[in-house]
Structure 1
Amino acid sequence: MNWPYVISNAIVLACIYGTLAIGISITWSSLGLLNLAYGFIFALSGYGAWLTSQYVVAVTPDALRGAMILAGGVATGALGGVLVCALAFIPVHDKPNFTIRGMIATLAISLMGTQLLLWWFGPRSKSLPEIFGASKRSLFGLVLTADKIGNVIVSIAMLLIVLTWMRSSRRGLEIRAMMMNPHAASIVGIGVRRTSFYVMAITGGLAGLSAVLLSQTYYIQPFNGLTPMIKGVSIALCGGLGSVPGAVIAALLLGFNEAMTSVALGGQYVLMTQFLLIILIILVRPRGIAGLLDKAREA
């Protein structure tokens, strides 16, 4: 087995799926919402990036085309997150059994949204141009393509920007307060409705970034957000819902598992081995690798 190749693929997959999983964890820990509409947001962002590449990039200087496609996907994801917030969170967040209602509402949005994408864009697959170029670099005998290097750098940079914003800005501190104790946050005057739009926009943007990066390898289709959503939720559960460090560790584990399984057994066995690994981790640590399901959230 070519271990350098497996490790490089594992890191790339961990960065992409980990970005999505961290968004899921932030949404859960701050809003108590397990957003099952990320599959729709993921696919919508891919089409947003594709539309940007078709109509905006044509009048953009060559040096900025990749950045414009990335920005188009992230912006579309943020808009999708705001839409889901308005339709699925705001109407039911103060109702009994909110967790179940929120899951059902977001799942319904995902199903209807993917059907709308299928109706509007058709079943034909779309592809994005290479946003990082086609160059290659050799490191310790391993050939690294520009898309792999770009995926890792952009994912890490985006997460650092988001986490820094959450630590330094007023809105970010409000989100962190809700993640720590939503009841106490509401007592001191932090508005759940207002803050929820920021949360959903940020996490939707993270989903959009994941969609653009993964679309460098896979085609854009109306239903191509389902598998990334399953993997993102799996990573979030495996790491512990609400735990960003746990999501990072779980992303590395599951990314390595996917890369190794694809090489050793074939891609058709990836989900099988991933769920076996998740079951094993949950049996050993029921709340995930670093999971702390907030007592305040349970209350």
Structure 2
Amino acid sequence: MTADTISAVFVSGIVLASVYALMASGLSLVWTTLGIFNFAHGALMTLAAYVAWTVSDAAGLGLWLGAGIAVAIAAAVGAGILMERLIVRPFYDHRDILLITVMTTLAAMIFIEKGSQLVWGARLKQLRPIVPGQVNFLGTTISAQETLIIVLAPVILGLLWLFLRNSRIGRGIRAVGQNPNAARLIGIDVSRLFIITFALSAALAGLTGVLLGSVRMVTPAFGSEPLVKALIIVIFGGLGSLGGTILAAYLIGLLEAALIFFIGIYWAPSMIFILLIVVLLVRPQGLLGKVVR
């Protein structure tokens, strides 16, 4: 392998990792706080991409002038809050909440995907890039939009970390994730923080959809593949560990880019699943997860 090839594979991996980190961190946040997997997370990404396309590209206004980004994220947040209210909250006290919410969020995913197909059709769509042109990044020419994704992802994740660590609401979310009953006893409004958590998670999904929608073609199943990768990353990094999720996202992104180069795009996902199984056999709690006794 030449230095140019190594650089190209590395940059490609960083782009994938940045997208996966944004996507998986929202999924991890909901799991850590509520103890459920939101299988409609990818559908929120799809919804945001379509809304951004409608506001900006379909109207010919562009993302900035048409406020496509803000409207798209707001749509995802609104949909996320509705999901928490309608299909998650009624089951908080149910002993089988994990199984029930798997079914309800899967139903929400199907509803959003089929609804998107009815509203926007099945034809491929693509957002205009937020930043047009090309950039030389570490010796490899990539689009300016991909460079924006690489730069923006750690900034957003850093702000999320600071929010959870230093703000009153963030500390409350962490307390609820550790022990919701104890949090109630000290006066924390657990239901309010559940809504905020879903809103934050949906905002991350919406932002990911807008960023990725100008790199890939948008379809009704646009968020399905990133959702599967996000699930793998959350498990691989360790359930309940946001830091583990981010670390796993970058490791898997780089690994996937290398596998695509060496063995092809069709075999790479299978090898990642095999790696996940091997890692979990050796370390069932994931990279940074805690052992449950």
The TM-score range, normalised by the shorter chain, is over 0.9
TM-score w.r.t. the length of structure 1 is 0.90
Q: Name 2:148's counterpart in structure 1.
A: 150
Q: Does the CA-based 8 Å contact 1:35-1:103 persist in structure 2?
A: yes
1:113-133, CA deviations, whole angstroms, 9 ceiling, x for partnerless residues?
Answer: 211111111111111001121
Q: Name 1:29's counterpart in structure 2.
A: 32
Aligned-CA RMSD value? 2.0
Q: Percent identity?
A: 31
Partners of 1:203 and 1:43 in 2: CA distance: 14
Q: Does the CA-based 8 Å contact 1:180-1:294 persist in structure 2?
A: no
* One-letter code aligned to 2:261: V
SS at match of 2:285: coil
* One-letter code aligned to 2:118: W
Superposed displacement of residue 252, structure 1:
1.4
Partners of 2:86 and 2:269 in 1: CA distance: 31
Relative to structure 1, the CA distance from residue 160 to residue 74 in structure 2 (aligned partners, 3 Å threshold; closer, same or farther) is farther
* One-letter code aligned to 2:167: S
Partners of 1:138 and 1:245 in 2: CA distance: 26
Q: Name 1:104's counterpart in structure 2.
A: 103
Partners of 2:255 and 2:137 in 1: CA distance: 24
- Mapping of residues 36-47 of structure 1, within 5 Å: 36-47=39-50
* One-letter code aligned to 2:184: S
Partners of 1:245 and 1:118 in 2: CA distance: 35
TM-score w.r.t. the length of structure 2 is 0.92
1:235-279, CA deviations, whole angstroms, 9 ceiling, x for partnerless residues?
Answer: 000001111111112111210121112222222223212111111
With 73-82 and 110-119 compared, the bigger mean Cα shift is at: 73-82
Q: Does the CA-based 8 Å contact 2:31-2:240 persist in structure 1?
A: yes
Partners of 1:138 and 1:235 in 2: CA distance: 26
Tell me, yes or no, if structure 1 residue 4 matches structure 2 residue 7: yes
Partners of 2:80 and 2:125 in 1: CA distance: 22
Superposed displacement of residue 138, structure 1:
5.0
1:218-250, CA deviations, whole angstroms, 9 ceiling, x for partnerless residues?
Answer: 111111111111000110000011111111121
Unmatched tracts of structure 1, length 5 or more? none
1:47-87, CA deviations, whole angstroms, 9 ceiling, x for partnerless residues?
Answer: 121122136772x7x8x349x33333322222221121112
Unmatched tracts of structure 2, length 5 or more? none
Q: Name 1:71's counterpart in structure 2.
A: 70
Relative to structure 1, the CA distance from residue 15 to residue 80 in structure 2 (aligned partners, 3 Å threshold; closer, same or farther) is same
Q: Does the CA-based 8 Å contact 1:46-1:208 persist in structure 2?
A: yes
1:54 to 33, 53, 57: 57
- Mapping of residues 173-184 of structure 1, within 5 Å: 173-184=171-182
Name segments (4+ residues, structure 1) moved above 4 Å: none
Superposed displacement of residue 98, structure 1:
1.0
Q: Name 1:193's counterpart in structure 2.
A: 191
Q: Does the CA-based 8 Å contact 1:26-1:179 persist in structure 2?
A: no
* One-letter code aligned to 1:137: N
Q: How many residues were matched structurally?
A: 290
1:136-193, CA deviations, whole angstroms, 9 ceiling, x for partnerless residues?
Answer: 2253x33343122100122122222222222232222211111222221122122222
